[in-house]
Amino acid sequence: MRHPSSLIDFGTVLLGMSLAACSPDGSTTATLDSSTGDSSTVDGSTAGPDEPTGTTATPTTSPTTGTTEAISSSGETNETTDPTTEATTEATTSTSTAGETSDTTTGTTGETTEGETDTGVAESIVIERIGRYAQEDEAAAYATYVDEDLSAAEIPAFDPASQRLFVVNGQKAGIDVLDLSDPAAPVWIDTLDTSLFGPPNSVSVHDGVVAAAVESTTKTNTGEVWFFDAATGTKLAAVGVGALPDMVTFSPDGNYVVTADEGEPADDYVVDPVGSVSVIDVSGGVENVLQTDVTTADFSGFTLMNLDPDVRLFGPNADSPAQNLEPEYVAISGDSKTAYVTLQENNALAVVDLASGTVTDVHALGFKAWNNVARLDPSDEDGEAALVHAPVRGMYQPDAIAWFSSNGADYLLTANEGDVRDWDGYSEEVRIKNLDLDPQLFPDADDLQEDAALGRLKVTDSLGDVDDDGDFDALYTFGGRSFAVWSAADATLVHDSGEAIEQLLASDPGQADHFNADNADHEFDSRSDDKGPEPEGLTLGVAYGRTLGFIGLERQGGVLMVDLADPGAPEILAYVNPRDFTGDPADGSADDLGPEGLTFVSAANSPNGKPLVIVANEVSGTVSIYQLVAE
């Protein structure tokens, strides 16, 4: 029997430099209230700097088998249906937290949140899966993903008027259209084919119009945004944008469509296009949009002299911010004036003025101190889920981002997945055991570089040799293994969830035996050396008087539900994961694998009158529909 978690303190080997740029003291911790394999209810709290010295929280109930149970705040359980059925009510997670109503609004990350009609603050919210859409041959969809890195379900977007769900399907080079009039039984209608130009990467819907970000078949060439009528699937228009448009979203007022044009290099780095953010003015109607309505904001105005030195510029073309900065994801403010764009590899955030189509600022996001308060599991060969303090700094490197406002202040919620540049022409990734460590700063280097300690942990070789003498004075690993709240005004860190996600997974009886498993197999601890559970996608919405964030864990699977009433101390309300660890991913019996994109549907826009959270899973090629119910 594996120990669910242990504490190893490597704090005796400290870095001899300031950690002021790292996250503030305090990390969200989690105490389990349920122990089904599909769901759990946790209470998130913030630990002070001297508190996290014991083992992780222990479960309060014993594991269950067979049917899935819904555990309410009163401890009552409700039996639900088999998790493998297509129309299900399962994996129910209840939460119970008294809260005060706050003045909150949300911006856009592709989802529709307008028209929320819930009143009051619910004391308890249940999240339950009610429907699932799968490819005709789940095993074949999985095999294609593994063999060709093509997914059958990546990003979802919902149109309330037609009650249609649009899902990016890379295996078809198109966008699947699903009838969601009955959320418990989604039905495929059609596929919008973009293969004449290239594969779609992202989709967004506003007021009956679908926008799809489509990359060129040669990814370093400029991409396009295609527009469709949501009700008929008719193509309305197409315009050019920057290279490799990786995400698209509408502004809340519908006047702009914005893309994050990542501008990734060719594998050999012979071609490295600029990263950019394209702003399309569609205020005159999508059917009338012209190329002259597109403004592409790039980073040509930034140089090594005027860019924050903590913004990561590295690898080939490190002297060219325009080429080195790579936009990943976009959130837009509630007033539709400003876009906030994650620059994932660069560990930074760009701010774009939509009216002028210009980048006004680039903020460095700083680093997370894994030797102070927060812990991580750095090894896939230690035989346990061991959360440790370690002399390592984490780069937050967020993927998805969402904007919200609370009590007059504006905030950004991020999923701190982490990413690495690993191309034939350049790779920054290296394991700690293969580095020369400074003997003064790492006197216990031999012990630290053992596989069961820090030796297996992947870090960047682009940072850490401070004095340029060939050995490393500091270690920087990829991703925060967390979600975070930032001030939209200046990108200051308001809260980071610390070790809460890994602690939750290590303590949950339904997850602990497969802690930090990859999304393509069930092997225990296989991702601990490489960004852990990887919180990647997120969505945000208002339900039952609460502003809620929903964060997908790309590797372990499942979705966190987080209460954002207090941006300085978000509370993890629930974790639901329908993944079946007794099934075989290769034959399609393991249920959902690899949540990639999420979207929120408000009660007012929902086909069944309940708030919905829709999750597209890239590895299994499936889509799950969850509803929120107040109790």
How many structural domains are present in the chain? Answer: 1
Q: Name the average pLDDT for the chain.
A: 86
User: Chain centroid to CA 13: how far?
Assistant: 32
Q: Is residue 157 domain-resident?
A: yes
Which residue would you say has higher pLDDT here, 107 or 541? Answer: 541
Work out the pLDDT band at 44, boundaries 50, 70, 90. Answer: very low
Is residue 39's pLDDT more than 60?
no
CA-based max dimension of the chain: 67
* Phi, psi torsion values for 502, nearest 5 degrees: -65, -35
Higher pLDDT, 35 or 460: 460
State the pLDDT confidence band at 121, using cuts at 50, 70 and 90.
confident
CB contact set of 180 (below 8 Å; sequence gap of 6+): 158, 163, 164, 165, 186, 607, 625
Statement: residue 578 has pLDDT above 80: yes
3 or 431: which carries more pLDDT confidence?
431
Question: Which structural domain range is residue 523 located in?
Answer: 6-630
Is 467 a domain residue? Answer: yes
Quote the DSSP letter at residue 146.
Answer: H
1 assigned to some structural domain: no
User: Is 10's pLDDT higher than 70?
Assistant: no
Q: Say whether 542 sits in a helix, a strand or coil.
A: strand
Model pTM score: 0.86
Q: What is residue 120's predicted lDDT score, i.e. its pLDDT?
A: 67
| Of 114 and 299, more confident | 299
Residue 26 lies in a domain: yes
The pairing of strands 476-478 and 393-395 is parallel
Top pLDDT among 42 and 225 is at 225
In eight-state DSSP terms, residue 286 is: G
What are 394-438's pLDDT values in tens digits? Answer: 999 999 999 999 999 999 999 999 999 999 999 999 999 999 999
Question: Is 192 among the domain residues?
Answer: yes
Question: Does the pLDDT value for residue 544 go beyond 90?
Answer: yes
Q: What is the pLDDT of residue 104?
A: 60
Look at residue 122 and tell me if it is in a domain: yes
Q: Could you tell me the pLDDT band of residue 108, with boundaries at 50, 70 and 90? A: low
**At residue 30, does pLDDT exceed 90?**
no
User: Would you state the structure tokens that stand for residue 154, as one six-digit string?
Assistant: 């990546």
Strand-pair category, 39-47 with 200-206? unpaired
CATH of the domain at 335: 2.130.10.10
pLDDT of residue 109: 60
Query: Which pLDDT score is estimated for 531?
Result: 98
Residue 345 reports pLDDT greater than 50: yes
pLDDT in tens, 243-254: 999 999 999 999
The answer on pLDDT for 314 being more than 70 is yes
The pLDDT tens digits of the residues spanning 196-226 come to: 999 999 999 999 999 999 999 999 999 999 9
Q: Is the residue at 420 inside a domain?
A: yes
Residues 546-560: pLDDT tens digits?
999 999 999 999 999
The CA radius of gyration of the chain, in Å to the nearest whole number, is: 23
| 89, pLDDT greater than 90 | no
CA distance 385 to 11: 19
The answer to whether position 411 is within a domain reads yes
pLDDT digits (tens, 9 = 90+) for 589-625: 999 999 999 999 999 999 999 999 999 999 999 999 9
